[in-house]
Every structure is written in C-alpha cells, then in structure tokens.
Amino acid sequence: MDRKDGAMALRQEPHVLVVAGSDSSGGAGLARDIETISSLGVRTCLAVTALTVQTHEGVAQIHRSSPGLVADQMRAALQANEVVAIKIGMLATAEIVVAVAAVLRENPRVPAILDPVLASTSGRTLLEADAVAAMKHDLMPLCRLVTPNLIELALLVAAERATDEDGAIRQGQELLGAGAQALLIKGGHASGPRSTDILLRSNQEPLRFDAPRLVASMRGTGCMLASAVAAHLAKAKPLEDSVREGKLFVFEKLQKKAATVTNEQP
C-alpha cells in the first residue's frame, strides 16, 4: 500500500474527535481520552483547547488556545477524517465555548458528548465564570449528551449541590428545560453503597445505571466515561447502550485499581 492509499484508508476509518486540554501528568484530559477511545478500538483526532502544567496533586499553569485555533483544529480534523462522534472536555473560556459551538452547528449529524469540566480534582478552576452561561445556552443544546457530576450540575443551575437523587433529577430537568438534549448525572460524588448514574431525556422516565461503590478512586474517570460513551456511539450503538458500556468500562478500571490497592496493603 503506498502513502496515498494508506492515507485514504485512514480517512475512511471511524474517528472520535477529542476537543480537550492536555494534562502533563497523563492522569486526565487528552491523554486519558485517547487512551480510553483507543482501548475500545476506535481512532482519535484532536483539537487542543489548552496546555496545562500539572501533577497528580494540582495544576500549576494553564495556557489557553485561541478560539480561532481551536475551531481551525476541529475543522481540519473533520476534513481529514471520517469523524463519527465528538468528545468535548476542558474548554477554559467563553470564547472557546462559542467557537466550538459554531463548528458543531456546521456538523449537525455528528453526535457530541460534553463532559462539562469546570474544575480539576484538586479544585483549580478550569472554566472561567462567564463561560458557564455560554456553555449552558450556546453549547449544551447542540450536544447529544452532557455528563455532569453532582458538583458540576449544581454550578450549571446556580444552586446548592443536590443531597439526594430527587434533588439531582430536579436540577437535571432544569438543564433539560434550558435546551439540553440528554444528561447523564454521575453519582460518583454521592454517598452510600451504590454508585448510580441517571440518564435524563425529555419526555422519558429517568434511566438508572447502578454499580457497587468501590473504595478506589482515580483521576480522569469523568474523561474516561465521556470518552467511552463517544467511542461506543462511534460504533453505531444507541445512546442507552453506549452509556451502559461506558459505565461498565469505568467500573472495571476502578475495580482493577481497588484490587491493586488491596494487594499493596501490608
């Protein structure tokens, strides 16, 4: 196969376009996205929204891409490859949110999964305050699925964090009312023996994805879940099945981590 034929074959393979920031520690962001999607047998292409300097303990520096550069990267990736799903992570500024939304409007047939990254695990803000409104009103209605945890959900509706499932569902329904197509409310920050994620869609009953809560924790699980859902959508699976497979993928990763921690204990 010559170079031209190789490029043609690559162009025809399904890709997930990952729009996210880098994490120099490798624990989250683009590195975690690529790792997850590749492990599920799907190719990736990239648009880098920010470069960060960080360890597993904290974020030291954030260098944001210009909105035009992010949009140009997305358009180039979409032109070069058969992009069948888009996974969106850290966006950093309102201007980048608007730029990404503009490219999604140009490609309405490609489903987008938005992980609304508002802060790092260590607490560093990763999305400027004025960008939350832009994300809620300009970007979320264009996405096939939005995957907030309980903290992000509360910030998106400008409320206190929900203390029970009913409260989380009410907050999620508020976002649906603001135009979101579907939400997967992640229960990892809740308490109790079970970790339950809730899929909310307009005019449908909430759908629960339940698993035992594991003692292990790891960075980048939000990136993993959204990326796994995007990879399964890229394989033409329905949204519900993609969410179920994504939840299982993260659970199995945490299960391995828990086993490792247990084996290391004296």
| Distance between CA atoms of residues 45 and 43, nearest Å | 7
Residue 210 confidence (pLDDT): 84
pLDDT digit string, tens, across residues 228-248:
999 999 999 999 999 999 999
User: Which residues of the chain carry a pLDDT beneath 70?
Assistant: 1-11, 120-125, 188-193, 213-217, 258-266
pLDDT at 126: 74
Tell how strand 194-201 and strand 207-212 pair up.
antiparallel
What pLDDT is stored for residue 118 in this prediction? 81
Cβ pair 118, 142 in contact under 8 A: no
167-220: per-residue pLDDT in tens? 999 999 999 999 999 999 998 555 566 778 999 999 899 999 887 766 666 778
Taking the CB of residue 182, how many other CB atoms lie within 10 A of it?
Answer: 22
Look at residue 264 in the predicted model and tell me its pLDDT.
Answer: 53
Task: Say how far residue 11 (Cα) sits from the centre of its chain.
Answer: 24
Read off the amino acid at residue 49.
Answer: T
CB 188 within 8 A of CB 195: yes
